Amino acid sequence: MAKTISRDTPLAEITLRKYGSPQGLEKRELVRKLCLSIGLLQPGDSRDVVVDVLQVILENCKHDKEYTSTEIEKMTMDNREKYELKQLGVAPSNIRRQILRLRDLFIVEKNGNYYRINEGSKISQIFKERIEKYYLQSILTRVKEYIEAVDQEFLEKTEE
């Protein structure tokens, strides 16, 4: 009889990493470190088109300007060409997937078929209001519940 293995699917998750100071970094490297810092990119990952997607959105979506995924795809290809990078990961389906990842972190929002920086806000404001106060706080609260339950189940019983 085959065993069924259940998968534990998280309700929410976030990866945060600390790197050195961003002082003196060029634009693409600055966005790359941001992507690494917030878990959009893994260390050593050569598939880094998310960096270009975020960079072109940041550079072009000022003052609530919105773009379609096709326009973002074209700008991403141009950005990779500018930095003399291979045109890997620029398929329309992958660009849409990267935009979705940015939406999942509240950085980008969709309005019809158009995308822009969430509410035209600064990234620092988005991080503070949406990720730090809401998303991260809810994750920390649940982790603390598990910690307290483990303490209750294992440690408090041994003290009796």
**Mean confidence (pLDDT) of the chain:** 91
Query: How far is 143 from 39, CA to CA, in rounded Å?
Result: 19
Structural fold of domain 24-119: Arc Repressor Mutant, subunit A (1.10.10)
Residue 63's pLDDT band, with cuts at 50, 70 and 90, is low
Q: Long-range CB contacts (< 8 A, 24+ apart) of 3-12?
A: 11/142, 12/135, 12/138, 12/139
Q: What is the pTM of this model?
A: 0.85
For residue 146, is pLDDT > 90? yes
The string of pLDDT tens digits covering residues 95-139 is 999 999 999 999 999 999 999 999 889 999 999 999 999 899 999
Instruction: Identify residue 122 by its one-letter amino acid code.
Output: K
pLDDT at position 157 over 70: no
Mean pLDDT score, 141-155: 95
Q: Which residues contact 43 (CB under 8 A, 6 or more apart)?
A: 17, 36
Instruction: Identify the band that residue 62 occupies on the pLDDT scale cut at 50, 70 and 90.
Output: confident
Q: Is the pLDDT of residue 155 over 90?
A: no
pLDDT at 2: 65
Residue range 28-45, pLDDT digits in tens:
999 999 999 999 999 988
The pLDDT value given to residue 36: 97
Q: Where are the domains of the chain?
A: 24-119, 121-160
Q: Is the pLDDT of residue 159 over 60?
A: no
Contact 75, 56 (CB under 8 A): yes
Phi, psi dihedrals of residue 24, rounded to the nearest 5°: 85, 0
